[in-house]
Chain A
């Protein structure tokens, strides 16, 4: 009779794999908490530098141009298309209930409350946030930040402060432009292509959209998103490993962390403001 070839399970290997998993989780958590701590300390060092920037508005204006103005094209084009898609989708649903006159309301509320601030923040993270991280990371790698420190110029004030403030300042404006262009995109499709009455489109919107509730909530959201995305972008650049791979990883982290932070914060802010 043949002997059984069944072997005992490799418990040692299983145990090692489980332990490896636990070690990895622990290490990851510790690294995450440490990085968050460093990011908070970094912010606490940068914030006192911001008032001094008012004495040097040129530094701030330069960054507003680079961070804000150069992001305008992508914001305007995206806003217009999102408004068009909203109107198209909204019309197809509303027409089933004979409520296509409410199309303007749907487009305006969706944009001002949610899509304007959120999509702008995501686009801002991808376009301006990644550029900020790469620029600061490269300055670190090529020792430009160290050289600045050696010339008794604080890079936190000269480099980081203007970029953080510019992001904070530009995001609400970009979100507002996104929403306005989106409304016109919705108007173009709804009124121009699908035949909704133009007066109804605007009057319903005017009656239903509350400035203090809907528009302000969007502005507050975009200010918070602007601050968080800019903070993440400048911190990741400043904290990046001074190698080309380090800059690449930091740029990716900026986009990923910013996007997740924006979506998570959007839920929190919506829950706080509308419930």
Chain B
């Protein structure tokens, strides 16, 4: 059976450095930091008092009040970013076969604010379980694609992938494969997360996963820097329209890039710590390149998982060196998390979009906030430090790794 080719024909983004794709790119190319003191709740007793929140966000700009009330913030973000991507794709919603349009979304957690509110409300009561009937349908991670399908009438495959910080990449790879196999013409994919809440921040903080650089939130996310001290929690969403190549060509769609392939692997090692030898990370990049039929020396750019944690960043770079050998030093490696923070289940989506935009603009966004060389990092690697670098990007990879040892990697290719 001949696999179909899959292309990206629409993008949508709601990120801590820009509330749509255009603003997001402006932020990326200029090295803008999205990190600031948390506004969602009182952080006085929290060890980390900052995060990458969405700025200037008012749900009532996008939803009527009744609709907004029934959507957790992560689901609101999903609706907004997917609507931008669908609009961008210029799909004729009247003409397409909606049975062949899927929605495969990524969310690492889902409606944690809703969960928190309902449980706290119960705890304040007399033990009578007065839970809101919308509690469960607002909270569950799969409600985001459910709501997107209800809005547009898309009746193809519909679900959420949950693999922590690899969730959106898993979603994109599933979307790619459904189209490749001929089951769908179009899949709305991506991911969203909204975990900048008391429980979200408190939980990650308890793991010592978060940066505590409270004196300088905007420089706290500093992947690959010797003084990095943890990741910066972010929120937001990214959406991509994946479409079968001939379907896209037939309607004269703008094609951003080809989704050349995806790779998956597992560390099978520890709940949260990366494998010290990065075996799973090596494997996921190899699997991805093999799936795409792309040679090592064809890769121009890698948007790393690079969360700014002491262990993870070094392990990932070692794996890149191991996979690519001499070619590793010719790759523009970056971590856009230095600007956006870590969007957990949405990270794979906004980072894939960053890779695609780097291709589109022949400019690789920087890894900002670098001040001090880490001697454990191979100095021959080009980490695109502090300033965007001009480069024709024909092939770009995006890595994501999730707690639980889930690794997912997607590779995009300029359409020749």
Asked if A and B are interacting partners, one says no
A positions within 8 Å CB-CB of B:
none
B residues lining the A interface (CB < 8 Å): none
